[in-house]
Structure formats: structure tokens, C-alpha cells
Chain A
Amino acid sequence: MIEFGILEGVIALLGVVIGIIFGALPGMTATMAIAIFLPLTYAYDLTTSVYLLLGLYVGGISGGLVPAILMNIPGTPSSVTTGFDGHPMAMKGEGVRALRIGITASLFGGILSLVVLALFTPVLARLAIKFSAVEKFLIILFAMTVIAALSKGKMTKGIFTGFLGVFISLMGVFPDNQTLRLVPSMFSMELRDGFQLLPVLIGLFAFSQLFQEAEKGMKQTMMHTDILKGDQSKKFSFKDFKGQFINMLRSGSIGTFMGILPGIGGSAASLLAYSQCKTFSKDPEKLGTGAVEGLVASESANNGLTGGALVPLLSLGIPGDSTTAVLIGAFILQGIQVGPLFITQNPVIWNTILFALLIANIFMFIVMFYPIKYIAKIINIPKNKLYPGIVLLCVVGAFSTRSGNMVDVFTLVIFGLVGYIFSKLDLPVTTFLIGFILGRDLEKYFIDSLKGSGGHLSVFFSRPIGLAVWVLILASLAYAFYDNRKHHKETRV
């Protein structure tokens, strides 16, 4: 019992393609694509809307890997970790290979989460509401341990900038009591909601790169010219996935589970998957220098989100991430309530959603896998022609973050400078960004936990799931310290 036809197929394909474009452009996200197309779905029936919107969703989440790998500018917040290993590969002339590995891992993550969605939705939804503020706080803390794992040899600096990122993220109004903090009073209106994630992200990556390249005089292309000429670089083959199955399964599951938990952002998924990949890796030193492992972990995790985030949406009526929050609107517009009775009352729509998700994932793979070698040529454009275009795109992306706010465009420039100065002072930018991404949630769930317990800190040790997460946190930290030590010794010898 599935509603599908040629029209639906075309619409899904269209959704995927447009989604990929939005995902690939820095500053534009899947959420934005869905929000833009939402009013259009008025004109369609529910089935057509489902194909379009899920196509946009899958495409939007997947597209982010393209600029992350080619230009080290994450297209979406959840592809930050993709660039860690993807970009070094591209610099070595393996752009197409990296992209194809990423796309294949994305497909795997997407399908894995779809299976989970199809088979375990009611069970997982019941599990998800067992996670209260305490568990969510600990999971965010767990995701923050990636900071320690990332800053090899520079642990103190990494942690310092990480918390600096948290501090900056707290600027603006505290939602509970609507009180402004950490904002100079002359900007009280402009920065009421603090700095927005997308402009900060693009500023730190794209604009700081822009300044650094301008300093060097914008001479060459991204790749070293000698690599450009010789073409002995490795080609993609499915053999690249040899030994990656466990990694993909672990990362995809982490991604799916982060999607299932309402109120934990999508970027936490790929961050956690990446740090766990490092913990379990046979040679962790290679991560961050162009290891297939890291790329696979990041991409299978962020596509694992798609199915995961639909679990609480369809079975509890509670969105799993910001994109699915917009999807609720599409259902409401069609007069259908998603919630505890949705699956039993609408079996046809439910099956259609599963099928649409499957189709969207397959289309995503086909649309991206083959033509990607032409897109990868971007990297061959001389920097002096490439960067003005990037500036234009970033400005458009930043401006549309909140439907037209110049503050967000200035944010871009400010954090471009911050990133530039950080690189001069040898401070890591990524850990700052991770702190910024997770900061607000960290505070929110910390305060919520305390509100629930009357302020007793013992609440963080009072729940069984919480204790299990503590063990994971400590193990992660211990490993990171050990790794840091080892790195220190190696560099000294």
C-alpha cells in the first residue's frame, strides 16, 4: 500500500536536486529549503508534498559534503567533521574519490536509519522520552569530548578555545527569563539572539581562509599544481570500504540515535561519531590527515539523522531536529496530525513516507555519484576567480539565515577575522566552533536539570542511563589524554 507514480518520482528527484544545491551552498541548509518550499505544498496533495519535502530533506543533508571536501567550508553544520579528512584528501588530488566515499557512506547511513525507522519506531520513541534534561546534558558533554580528541598535542589550547566558543554562544537572551546577558548595551537589539550559527560557521571557515589567502596573494589553485598535472592519484573503488563496515554501522547508529533524541542538534551526531571513530580506530594518528575512516564516520552519521529524526516526529508529534520541526508544518497544512496515533490511523501515508525516504536516498546517490567528477573541477579554478564567487554566496547565505538580517552578514566578517587571528596565534578554530555549536544546549540542559532537582548537583549521578553516559565520557577523556601524551612524546623525539 504505497502511493507512487511517475509524477511523484519526478517531484522526489526535483526535491533531491534542489536539496543538494541548498545543502552544498555555504549558509543554506535543508531546513531553509523545506521552509521555502512549504507554502508551495498547499497546491499539492499530501503524497506529492511528502515526496518533495523528503527529497529536499535527504538532498539538503547530503549536499553539505561537497564544499566541506572541496573547499574545507562545511555546507551545513553537520558536515563540519566531513572536511577534517575529506579536504586533505582533495588537496592530495583525491577529490573525486573522497566525494564518492562520502556519498556512499551517506547512502549507507540513510538506509540504515530508514530500516530503524521502519522497524523500531514505537520502541525507540518510548526510549526517547526516557531521556530527560539530565541525560541530554550528559550526551552534549559526551559530544564535547570530541574537543579533547581533536586537539592532539594541543590539549589545553583546544579545551580553552572550546570553552571560549561556549562562552560566545551564550551571548544574547536567556530563553527562560528573557534576560539579556554578555551583550554590550549598544547592540542590545542587534545581538538579542546572539550570533547565529551559520554565519559564525562560514565566517570561521570561509572568510578566515579568504583573509589568509589574500595575505598570500591569491596565487595558485587550491591544489598544488604538481598534483594537478600528474594523474596518478587514487581512484574511488568500493574496495575503499573494506574494513569500514563496523565503522559505518557504529557511526550510522550514533547518527540515527542522535536524531531520535529530540532537542539534540544534528551536528552533535557527526561530532560524536567522529570522536568514537577515533577512539576505536587502529591508527588514530591518521585521522585528520585524510583518512577514509573519518570521512565515512562523519557522513554515515549525518545521513543517519534523517530517519532518526522522523521517529519522534511521527510517533510522538515531537520533531527530532530543526528540519523535521518545519516538516510538522507540512502535515498540519494538510490537516494531518503527526503523533501517537499517526501510524495506526494512516498506514498508507506511513508506508509512503518510508518509500519516499528510500527513493530519495537512492536518487541522492545516483544524482551525486556520477556527475560529481565535474563538480570536483571547482578545485581547479584559480583562487583569484573562485573567492569572489564564494564571498557572494556566503553573503547571500548569511543574509537569508534569519530571512534578511544584516547583523548576520557582519557576523560573517567578524568571525572571519576571529578565525584569521586564531590561526596566527596557533589556536585551534574547530574546537572553538564545536564549543559554539554545543554551548547553548549544554547550558539549557544543565539549568533544566538543576531546576528539576531544586539545585542539587547530585541529580547528574542519580539516573542509570546518565551513569552509563558518564562511563563513556570518562573513557573518552582518558583515551584522549593518553593520545595527547603519546603525541607529545613522538614530537619530542
Chain B
Amino acid sequence: MSDLFRIKIVYSQSHTIGPKIIFGILIIFSIILLIQAIMKAKKENRPLLSLKHKHFFIENYDRVKLLGTGILLILYIMTMNLLGFIPAGILFISLFNVLYKGSREIKSILISIGIATIETMLIWFIFGYMFGVTLP
């Protein structure tokens, strides 16, 4: 009987105990969530899965900016490894600024580059140079 309330710890397997318990709890709660969803659907008299009026993205979402953000982020991180912190920072922070500004005028692009340069150099100076934080 008392063995019911006992979890035997075998050293080489002790790393699996935590994840197993949490996984169990997760399954229980997903079942509860599912049941709740079914009950709600029944009450409101509609099918459980209706994707008709559901959209993942908001209406008129800004496709360019959203996708651009994702792509730029990944490129930025990869470039940082190759070029180092300062060149990659100036290049991509300028691109982010241009992307979000959405204007193609030379003047606004130049301002973007200016802001990016100042920001990057400032951070590099304070952290990389003065405080000696390891930068890429």
C-alpha cells in the first residue's frame, strides 16, 4: 500500500522523473481544455472546429513589415557572426529603420543610417569598450 505513495529514485534515471510528471499534468489539462471546448461548442450550438470566422492574422495586416521583421532578424544574427557586431549592427538597424519607416526617399534613408550608426556605436562604446562586455 505504502508503495503507491513512493517514487523510487534510481540515480541514472532521475532525470526522467520531473519531465514525466509534468508531461502527465500537461496531458490531463489538455483533456480538460478539450472537454471545455466541446461543452462550449455544444452550448452555443456550433461545430467544434470552425475556422470560418477565424483569421490568424489581423485584418489588413502589414505583410511586408511582418515578414521583413522575421527575415531581417535571422539575417542580422547570421551576419553578426560573420562581420562582427559593428558592421552588422549598422547595416541591419538601418534596414529595420527603413523597413518600418516605409519611405524610399533618400533623405529618410540617410537619417535611418545615421540613427543606426549612432545607436550601434554608442552601445559598442558603452558596453563593448567601457565595460568590456563580450560582443559578437
Contact = CB atoms under 8 A, between A and B. Distances in A.
Q: Touching in the complex, A and B, CB below 8 A?
A: yes
Interface of A: 21, 32, 36, 156-157, 159-160, 163-164, 166-167, 170, 173-174, 176-177, 179-182, 207, 210-211, 214-218, 383-385, 387-389, 391-393, 395-396, 399-400, 403-404, 406, 409-410, 413, 416, 424, 439, 443, 446-447, 450-451, 454-458
Nearest to B56: A424
Contact of A456 (B6, B25, B76): B6
Contact of B132 (A36, A384, A458): A36
A80 B69 CA distance: 25
Contact of B22 (A166, A217, A393, A457): A166
Given A174-B15, A214-B62, A399-B136, 9 more contacts: A156-B33, A180-B15, A181-B16, A215-B58, A387-B96, A403-B134, A447-B14, A450-B17, A451-B9
B18 interface: yes
Contacts, number: 158
Nearest to A384: B100
Contact of A396 (B6, B25, B123): B123
B135 A446 contact: no
Task: Identify the interface centre among B25, B57, B120: most chain A CB within 10 Å of its CB.
Answer: B25
Nearest to A398: B77
Interface in B1-43: 2, 5-9, 11-12, 14-19, 22-23, 25-26, 29-30, 32-33, 36
Contact of B133 (A215, A385, A400): A400
27 contacts: A36-B132, A160-B29, A160-B30, A163-B25, A166-B22, A167-B23, A181-B19, A214-B69, A218-B100, A384-B97, A388-B97, A389-B93, A389-B119, A391-B93, A392-B120, A393-B123, A395-B80, A400-B134, A406-B77, A406-B80, A413-B73, A447-B9, A447-B17, A451-B9, A455-B8, A456-B6, A457-B7
Nearest to A446: B18
Contacts of B81: 406
Given A157-B33, A388-B96, A457 B6 contact: yes
Contacts of B7: 450, 455, 457
Given A179-B15, A385-B115, A458-B5, A170 B73 contact: no
Given A383-B100, A457-B6, A392 B22 contact: no
Interface string B52-92: 00001110011001101110011011001100010001000
A309 B30 CA distance: 39
B123 A216 contact: no
Contacts of B23: 167
Contacts of B68: 214
Nearest to A176: B14
A392 B119 contact: yes
A156 B15 contact: no
A369 to B, nearest CB: 23
A167 B65 CA distance: 33
A176 B101 CA distance: 51
Q: Is the interface of A mostly helix, strand, loop or mixed?
A: helix
B125 interface: no
Pick the 3 closest A-B CB pairs, nearest first.
A174-B15, A384-B100, A443-B18
B31 to A, nearest CB: 10
Given A385-B97, A406-B81, A36 B131 contact: yes
A182 B19 contact: yes
A46 to B, nearest CB: 22
A406 B74 CA distance: 12
Contacts of B74: 413
A409 B77 contact: yes
Contacts of A167: 19, 22-23, 26
A375 to B, nearest CB: 16
Nearest to B15: A174
Given A177-B14, A446-B18, A457-B5, A387 B123 contact: no
Most interface-central of A32, A159, A383, A391 (chain B CB within 10 A)? A391
Contacts of A404: 134-136
Contacts of A410: 77
Nearest to B60: A217
Contacts of A207: 73
Nearest to A458: B5
A255 B119 CA distance: 36
A106 B134 CA distance: 31
A217 B9 contact: no
Contacts of A389: 93, 115, 119
A326 to B, nearest CB: 15
Contacts of A180: 15
A421 to B, nearest CB: 9
Contacts of B76: 391, 395
Question: Which of B7, B97, B115 gathers most chain A CB within 10 Å?
Answer: B7
A177 B6 contact: no
Contact of B36 (A32, A156, A403): A156
B129 interface: no
Given A170-B19, A387-B100, A216 B58 contact: yes
